[in-house]
Structure 1
């Protein structure tokens, strides 16, 4: 599980859009979450996590404030979530997470990315059953037993845990995200999270061995990341 997570992060890092694209995507996510659950991060835990992640990714304060002000005003675009599923080179599985105010435009753009890279956009449910929807919390530590005890005392359903290089990574169902985070912060004073995310993790990986397949996958990720409506990309591909 950890390997799949690491692979996704590295792949996105290689194909990340320009900073302005990253800012735009965070701005849209913050606006939507704040509009749905309120603009107070103390009362809207999903918003608080999102703002924390935006700051870690060096999103300027004015971008965050602008999104919150827009949500506070009550007007603006009406975005809805959309998930697209498909197959990349080597028949690897791909999930594309989007926020859109025009579903026809978004699916057209996503389909174009798959078509131009000789990949295939699938039907809803075609690959999502092969992914686990997980909360991921990574922080400095080495005492796995103490961490597990704190989570069990808070009745958190832990699905996996890894320790490496002085860090502990906890995996839990996405519905347990805030509960797990709060339990850890209560148990370990001053705890800071290097990673605090909810992702779709593939249950099995697909190794791309040919240069053609690797180039094709990198192009697909690059094109999808360039789509304004696309927020996250999850896939089962791995390569050297």
Structure 2
């Protein structure tokens, strides 16, 4: 399996098990998608991806429809996307993506979490070079109704860089600029996607000791519990013996 796959498996997919947080995250994604491209699902690829993600997370259809209606109304929340960067224990880089209607509150919360765990909030752009922005699609192999070799060729031609399979789970990685074309090709092939999103994958890994690992994981949990935080990325080495400490 590729490095990007192992990173996702160790640190990201668990978020989709936190139902309340996941529904809130998708609701904000829907609001942003409607704001930028309108409420017509057929004419708005970003909104289609949000609905795919909602289905993959078992978000009730009524919730999705309410979120779209709310985002289309005159009293819709005015969300904006903001990113923050900083360091945790052992020099581990943290990249935090937020969607908020109150940037003052958000930056105060982010700074407070860094301070609580002896981390440091940095300047925007300071850590961007540590992460490569990639498109990630997560689906089940049973969703592929064609010969596997043909499927792989279709994905490669649409821009896939890596296709990783672990049992019934399939992860497709693509460059940021090819995310839209691969999403469109999956739609054309009528292949159901559980999750399709842009992620930041570390291009270098920082080793830490057990104590630093535990503190950084506590900080990660606090970030992910914050209502304004959509995604948190880091470049900490995840060792099997560390996972036993959780």
When the two structures are superposed, what TM-score results if normalisation uses the length of structure 1?
0.85
1:1-40 alignment runs, 5 A limit = 1-10=4-13, 12=15, 19-40=19-40
Q: Choose 104-113 or 26-35, whichever is displaced more.
A: 26-35
Shift of residue 236, structure 1, vs aligned partner = 1.5
The match for 1:219 is 218
Matches within 5 A, 1:42-57: 42-57=42-57
Alignment of 1:229-240 (within 5 A): 229-237=228-236, 238-239=238-239, 240=243
Q: Is the 8 A contact 1:144 1:168 kept in 2?
A: no
Return the offset for 1:167.
4.7
Q: Which has the higher contact order (CA 8 A, sep 6+)?
A: 1
The Cα shift of 1:109 comes to 0.5
TM (norm. structure 2) is 0.83
Residue in 1 that maps onto 2:110 = 110
Q: Give the direction of change, closer, same or farther, for the CA distance of 1:22–1:180 in structure 2 (3 Å limit).
A: closer
Contact in 2 for aligned 1:4/1:236 (Cα 8 Å): no
Specify the SS of the correspondent of 1:206.
Answer: coil
**Equivalent in the alignment of 1:88:** 88
Q: Contact 1:97–1:231 at 8 Å: present in 2 too?
A: yes
Distance 1:12 1:216, change over 3 A: farther
Measured in 2, the distance between the counterparts of 1:20 and 1:138 equals: 20
CA distance in 1, matches of 2:168, 2:56: 20
| CA root-mean-square deviation | 2.4
1:191-232 Cα distance to aligned partner (Å, 9 max, x none): 22243221111112234431x223212221221122211111
Q: Deviations over 1:36-74 (max 9, x none)?
A: 211122211111111221222222333222221112213
User: CA–CA distance in 1 between the matches of 2:60 and 2:148?
Assistant: 35
Inter-partner Cα distance in structure 2 for 1:89 and 1:10: 23
Q: What is the CA–CA distance in structure 2 between the aligned matches of 1:12 and 1:168, rounded to whole Å?
A: 17
Residue of structure 1 in register with 2:61 after alignment? 61
For structure 2, the 5+ residue unaligned runs are none
Residue in structure 1 matched with residue 177 of structure 2 by the alignment? 175
Structure 1, unmatched stretches of 5+, are none
